[in-house]
Amino acid sequence: MFLPNSRYANVKTVVTKTRSGREITAVKVRTLPEVTGISREIKDNDQLDVMAQVLYADSTKFWHIADANTELEARNLLSPTGRVILVPET
């Protein structure tokens, strides 16, 4: 269902029914681990995938940075400029 490097690759799925009776498969809520890392100030034009490529040599690992912070949507991590985020050591 997910690529091997997806944050959801090892998350269990559940099958449930909608109100109309249609069966759907969903992933369970995954618990976010505590992470250590370094603080990094957001600069103009920063992108999580570019940061991940530089730090981890894999742009698809952007989600490690997103998970280390509290925003529900990764794109919100990059605003405003000057904000300090946690960048994990992976």
pLDDT tens sequence across 27-85 = 888 777 788 899 999 999 999 999 999 999 999 999 889 889 877 777 788 889 999 99
Token pair listed for 9: 């690759």
pLDDT at residue number 14: 92
pLDDT at residue number 3: 85
pLDDT at residue number 71: 78
What global pTM score does this model have?
A: 0.69
CA–CA dist 76, 5 (Å, integer): 22
* Domain boundary assignment for the chain: 13-88
Comparison of pLDDT for 16 and 6, the residue scoring more: 16
DSSP class per residue in 77-88: GG-STT-EEEEE
| Nearest C-alpha neighbor of 7 from the set 86, 67, 89 | 67
